[in-house]
Amino acid sequence: MPISKLKAVEVGIPASESVVNLLSLSPLQVNSPCVTRFRLRLLMANAPMRLLTLNPSDTLPLTDQIVDGLRKRITQRALRAGMRLPSIRHFAKTHQVSAATVVQAYDRLVEDGYLVPRRGSGFYVARNSRGRKLRSRIDLAPAEDTLWILRSALQQQHPVIRAGAGWLPPSWLDGKLIVQGVSRAVGKDGSHLLEYGEPQGFSPLRKQLVHKLAKSGIKTDIDQIITTHGVSQAIDLVCRYFIHPGDVVLVDDPGYYVTFGYLKTLGATIVGVPRTPDGPDLSALESLVTTHQPKLFFTMSVLHNPTGTDMNQATAHRVLQLAEKRNFIIVEDDAYGDLHPGVATRLSTLDQLQRVVYVSGFSKTVSPDLRSGFLAARHDLVQDLLDLKLLS
């Protein structure tokens, strides 16, 4: 979404729904100061109205409800370090409680280290409210905006269709069929559940996947396929295998922002390739690969998230030529391909997995919760990716 449109989103749309509109941010926008400011404005503007839902007839006293509610929001970082809370009077008025109740609650949160009072200015979320931080190898801070969007979307009580987040309505799936299938798969005695399965994935399933890919013109054998915990694990394996901190990774802009967040935690520099109705903007791609010498390009050929567009053949052909010439790997994310009603062009079909790693799964067509995905790649790569899967 162009930054200029953020203003329009802001006007008259409740915070929870605005979050949905923010889901398709470009990699650059998602971390930009503009979005951060917008996000803070959104929270602050709506905070007094929406901060907590209190229930006066609950057996839990109102002070406890406020303390618990604010503590939860702070630990989940819906209220972030340094943010100013509504004034006592404002909070009391908007939540229809007495000022004394709010004073008591704020005081307890100060005592517990969640809030810091500032004389003449109000109460602020403490900077170290989550206790002493152990040094970790992964820095989650660069993905903070992605995580904020994800958490906010997950917290929505009455979700609208969250297509940008990749969560389709459950009514699109066949619950009965899934229950039958799972019962059959578990079987009568469940003896196979007492052993580890095949590391590369259940071979009858991989056999079926070979047939499935062949229908899209992607020729593989069973050894070229690894089943994964959703498409996400396939993306994770590819990212961890290829990316060193500082590597440049190209992504569709706009695109699947969760991958952007993950790439940032790995220290990758992500660069967006503008998306046109026919796929990546070729002149932009050409100049970006020349300037940045990327290692990977994450793209979607079919039913691109969030635009729903497909890559046409001419564009796909040129993208592959550039990958060959500039020596980068393409990760073709085909999370939605099975929902396509007609014939679609896939990079993997044209390339036969020489420069393309294909990732896909069944979260959109069978069940998001069964976490069923897979990747297909050339033999040498699959061996390494399988080793990585074994280790993690």
Ligand X SMILES: Cc1ncc(COP(=O)(O)O)c(C=O)c1O
The CB-side HSE value for 123 (13 A sphere, CA atoms) comes to 22
Residue with tokens 């940032």: 264
Note whether 201 binds ligand X by CB under 6 A: no
Note whether 256 binds ligand X by CB under 6 A: yes
Note whether 363 binds ligand X by CB under 6 A: yes
* Pairing, β 329-333 against β 115-118: unpaired
Note whether 159 binds ligand X by CB under 6 A: no
Q: How far is the CB of 332 from ligand X (least distance, A)?
A: 11
Of 147, 157, 149, the closest CA to residue 19 belongs to: 149
At 352, the amino acid letter reads Q
Residue among 87 and 365 whose Cβ is closer to ligand X: 365
Residue among 62 and 335 whose Cβ is closer to ligand X: 335
Q: How far is the CB of 288 from ligand X (least distance, A)?
A: 20
Interface pick for ligand X out of 26, 29, 232, 349 (rule CB under 6 A):
232
DSSP 84: B
At 190, the amino acid letter reads G
Options 20-28, 63-71, 229-237, 241-249: segment touching ligand X (CB under 6 A): 229-237
Note whether 361 binds ligand X by CB under 6 A: yes
Note whether 236 binds ligand X by CB under 6 A: no
Residue among 236 and 286 whose Cβ is closer to ligand X: 236
Q: How far is the CB of 304 from ligand X (least distance, A)?
A: 8
Note whether 367 binds ligand X by CB under 6 A: no
Note whether 231 binds ligand X by CB under 6 A: yes
- Residues 71, 114: contact at Cβ < 8 Å? yes
Note whether 368 binds ligand X by CB under 6 A: yes
- Residues 39, 47: contact at Cβ < 8 Å? no
Residue among 8 and 161 whose Cβ is closer to ligand X: 161
Note whether 373 binds ligand X by CB under 6 A: yes
Interface pick for ligand X out of 18, 26, 29, 305 (rule CB under 6 A):
305
Burial string for 69-90 (b: 16+ CB within 10 Å, else e) reads bbbebbeebbbbeebebbebee
How far apart are alpha carbons 332 and 357 in whole angstroms?
6
Angle between helices 282-292 and 313-326 (to 10 degrees): 10
End-to-end Cα spacing for the chain: 36
Binding-residue total with ligand X (CB under 6 A): 12
Options 98-106, 242-250, 361-369, 384-392: segment touching ligand X (CB under 6 A): 361-369
Task: Supply 216's token pair.
Answer: 């899209």
Q: What are phi and psi of 384, to 5 degrees?
A: -70, -40
Return residues touching ligand X (CB under 6 A).
166, 230-232, 256, 305, 333, 335, 361, 363, 368, 373
